[in-house]
Amino acid sequence: MKLILHIWRQANAAAPGKMMRYEAAGLSEDMSMLEALDVLNEELIARGEEPVAFEHDCREGICGSCGMMINGVAHGPSRATTTCQLTLRHFRDGQELYLEPWRARAFPVLKDLVVDRAAFDRIVAAGGYVSVPTGSAPDGNAIPVPKDDAERAMDAAACIGCGACVAACPNASAALFTGAKITHLALLPQGQPERHERALRMVAQWNLEGFGSCTNIGECEAVCPKGIGVEVIAAMNRDFLAASWAERDRVHAGA
């Protein structure tokens, strides 16, 4: 099978970029989107051209490295699927595809389809954890966790940090990403002591990074490869509000 690929080419963060047209032939419908790019790159190298830079690692949908806009949709047309797991079965022979990097001010393009997502790490560093130094933990069964809570925490914890939610959002908001981590930890007894501070700090960091606010559009949920729903945003908003209120009381009490 054959595809016409229009790909965003940009030499580095400072250089201007543009769409370039390529014909990728000799593809098979069992291939993944990234394997199609491998084929194209082998050909480009043979022709003496620079291959297309794109991010990838595990190629099984869990590391969160890969991601690109495919005809305007983050990770392409298949629901709950990362780009590495998107097989060409979803496309027609000869179809034209437009491949672009994630677009967001907080995710500057580094080269071609590669963007800088370090802002996500900084959001996690601002409280996306339980402060439990190595060696200080009680027995694993000391605190029972209701099965439903553990399951819901797992649903939120499934986030792979790929950034599709940001790329799909018209506001380039990091609400789904941040909400997923806040919700995961808020559902577990271990996450309670730092719950308020976590919500305040992580949200503040997200604003600082230049991500937009959430206006309840829901594109993020539609493209999330792990099917994380917008209820994590509602849960985050509730925690943020409660924390802000508690903080206000503390300030008024002169603490």
Contacts to another protein from residues 3-42, by CB under 8 A: 11-12, 27-28, 30-32, 34-35, 38-39, 42
Pick the piece of the chain touching another protein (CB under 8 A) from 150-158, 164-172, 212-220, 240-248. 150-158
Classify residue 46 by burial, with Cβ atoms within 10 Å: 0-12, 13-18, 19+. Answer: exposed
Q: Pick from 128, 145, 109: which is nearest to 198 by CA?
A: 128
Pick the piece of the chain touching another protein (CB under 8 A) from 97-105, 120-128, 206-214, 240-248. 120-128
Q: Which of 1, 73, 157, 234 binds another protein (CB under 8 A)?
A: 157
Task: Name the residue nearer to another protein (CB basis): 19 or 58.
Answer: 58
Task: Name the residue nearer to another protein (CB basis): 60 or 215.
Answer: 60
Instruction: Determine contact, residues 16/10, Cβ cutoff 8 Å.
Output: yes
Positions in 193-252 near another protein (CB under 8 A): none
Please, what is the minimum distance in Å from the beta carbon of residue 254 to another protein? 28
Q: Are strands 96-100 and 3-9 parallel, antiparallel or unpaired?
A: parallel
Centre a 10 Å sphere on the Cβ of residue 255 and count the other Cβ atoms it contains: 7
Positions in 63-102 near another protein (CB under 8 A): 63-65, 78, 80-81, 85, 87, 89
Instruction: Determine contact, residues 100/17, Cβ cutoff 8 Å.
Output: no
Q: Which of 23, 57, 93, 96 binds another protein (CB under 8 A)?
A: 57
User: Does residue 167 sit in helix, strand or coil?
Assistant: helix
Give the integer Cα–Cα distance in Å for 196 and 193. Answer: 8
